[in-house]
Amino acid sequence: MESAKEMTRESLPIKCLEAVILGIYLTNGQPSVERFPISFKSHFSGNNFHHVVLGIYFNGRYGSLGMSRRSELMDKPLIYRTLSDLIFEFEESYKKYLHSVKKVKIGLYVPHEPHSFQPIEWKQLVLNVSKMMRSEIRKELEKYARDMRMKILKPASAHSPVKQRSRGKSLSPRRRQASPQRRACRRDKSPAVLDKKVGDLSTLNEVGYQLRI
């Protein structure tokens, strides 16, 4: 949350991981909105690309918040009846840019308590979608979504003490030591050709406002 506050103060260019943290921050005051990370690994022209968005569940519908230089790979409206419908929509969006999705990782609901030190569970469910039938993917996703709604699933660290994290550091497993300023300078791994920097937070703020009303 300290990282999110720093983003709003500095208004520096951010990328997909920072957008997820910011989306969590902007929706913390809306307990009826459940948030969970969705990560994608795609392949294009001999290279692998990684991207993450914040999945949203509200009033029986799924959607997403995020940031990408491709509009189809970030925000999705709250219109999808099932989690699998949302994931398949992302898969179709990737195909528009000639990317094939290899893996999808779904995390757990993020607590609304802003002072919680519980780490974000980024990959509770990992699907190697390139080697699965669509019916198998749908079955796995719907079972997982049902368990999440019933709050059956627990973080892997739920039964072990959690160390207090330093304030202001990223919650990402891969980028834990990087500050927001340094992260903004790293190469964007989302599947895009044009480099478009975002200097303000209007998009995510608009979405947060729409969710509140």
Classified as helix, coil or strand, 35 is strand
Q: Are 8 and 1 in contact (CB under 8 A)?
A: no
CA pair distance 136, 204, nearest whole angstrom: 33
Residues 6+ apart with CB under 8 A from 16: 51, 52, 53, 66, 67, 68, 74, 188, 190
Using the 8-state DSSP alphabet, how is residue 4 labeled?
A: H
Is 39 known to be catalytic? no
Q: Are 23 and 4 in contact (CB under 8 A)?
A: no
Residues 6+ apart with CB under 8 A from 70: 93, 97, 190, 191, 192
Tokens found for residue 112: 């609304």
Integer-rounded Cα Rg, in Å, for the chain is 16
Which of these is catalytic: 3, 39, 64, 68?
68
Q: How many CB atoms lie within 10 A of CB 87?
A: 24
Is 68 known to be catalytic? yes
Q: How many CB atoms lie within 10 A of CB 66?
A: 27
CA pair distance 68, 52, nearest whole angstrom: 9
Which of these is catalytic: 3, 16, 84, 99?
16
Which of these is catalytic: 3, 39, 42, 51?
51
Is 185 known to be catalytic? no
Active site members: 16, 51, 68
